[in-house]
Amino acid sequence: MNIFYVILSIFILYISIIQCNNITSDISNERGANYCYFCSNCPNPFDPSSAFVTEVYSKTGWCAMMTTDDSTYASYTRGIPPGGVCTVNGCSWKTMSGVYTRVCCCNQNLCNGASEPTTTLGPIGNTCYSCSTCPLPFDQHSSYVSEIYSATGWCAKKSLSNAFNAVATRGAAELNLCISSGCTWRVIAEVNTLICCCRDYKCNTGVSTSKSTITMLSAALIITIISRKSF
């Protein structure tokens, strides 16, 4: 009989230890999980103490900011992104329910609180368009185009030709690639490459300075020829 009680006591103790470990695990997971700011019509500039802002638990660990406006001071909605929307930190344009939407993802606790994503990245940083084979003509809303943080503050556009329809890549300029705004030919990995640099917010969109200069010079030459023929 005593042996029975000993075995029963050991069994109860074993079950208690398992339950205790499960509770401890749940508490640890809860503490390690991310919380996100949530608001459907967030104040602009964002104020986490606003009555319209709450905090929600994210099971996936991802938080998001979303807007359909591409202006610098766009108003965002904040909360937990739908499953599969966020896989990396940063901002990109995605089609959400048939609507082009700028989605900014982050995976830190209460990380989706910035009024503008670049303000959390430091005074030197910048935001640039990024694409390995950019659409022609360039379309910032294309699914092939995303936004990337530039630690150097420079954005770049690279091409192997100065032709109007040349294929280009865009992105953040690596350290020492850009020292001044404008376009220059440089040898990159033993390849002669046209590098166009700029420092404004999402500035690496358009036609290079060298092409614009050629166009203006051509127009001036044509006007000069026509003027001479008129006399």
CATH of the domain at 133: 2.10.60
At which of 75, 98, 117 does a domain end?
A: 117
- Tell me the average confidence (pLDDT) per consecutive run of 10 residues in the chain, 231 residues long: 57 50 40 76 87 93 88 82 87 82 87 61 68 91 90 89 89 87 90 92 68 42 50 51
Domain membership of residue 223 (yes or no) is no
- Domains contained in the chain, number: 2
**One domain, residues 107 and 126:** no
For residues 39, 40, 43 and 47, what is the CA-based torsion angle, rounded to 10 degrees?
A: 10
Q: How many CB atoms sit inside 10 A of residue 140's CB?
A: 18
**One domain, residues 128 and 54:** no
Domain membership of residue 161 (yes or no) is yes
Domain membership of residue 217 (yes or no) is no
Q: What is the rounded distance in angstroms from the CA atom of residue 111 to the CA atom of residue 119? A: 12
Q: What are the structure tokens assigned to 157, written together?
A: 């556009």
Domain of residue 148, residue span: 121-207
Q: What are the structure tokens assigned to 1, written together?
A: 């009989």
**Minimal CA–CA distance to 90: which of 60, 61, 54, 130?**
130
**One domain, residues 97 and 134:** no
**One domain, residues 130 and 186:** yes
Residue 230: the pLDDT is 52
**One domain, residues 170 and 154:** yes
**One domain, residues 138 and 184:** yes
**One domain, residues 40 and 96:** yes
At which of 79, 96, 117 does a domain end?
A: 117
**One domain, residues 109 and 161:** no
Q: What is the rounded distance in angstroms from the CA atom of residue 219 to the CA atom of residue 213? A: 10
**One domain, residues 112 and 161:** no
**One domain, residues 142 and 189:** yes
The helix, strand and coil proportions of the chain, stated in percent and rounded to the nearest 5, come to: 25, 30, 45
Domain membership of residue 82 (yes or no) is yes
**One domain, residues 79 and 141:** no
Q: What is the rounded distance in angstroms from the CA atom of residue 226 to the CA atom of residue 231? A: 9
Q: What is the rounded distance in angstroms from the CA atom of residue 61 to the CA atom of residue 118? A: 21
Residue 20: the pLDDT is 45
Global confidence as pTM: 0.42
Phi and psi at 208, nearest 5°, equal: -65, 155
**One domain, residues 110 and 55:** yes
Residue 204: the pLDDT is 93
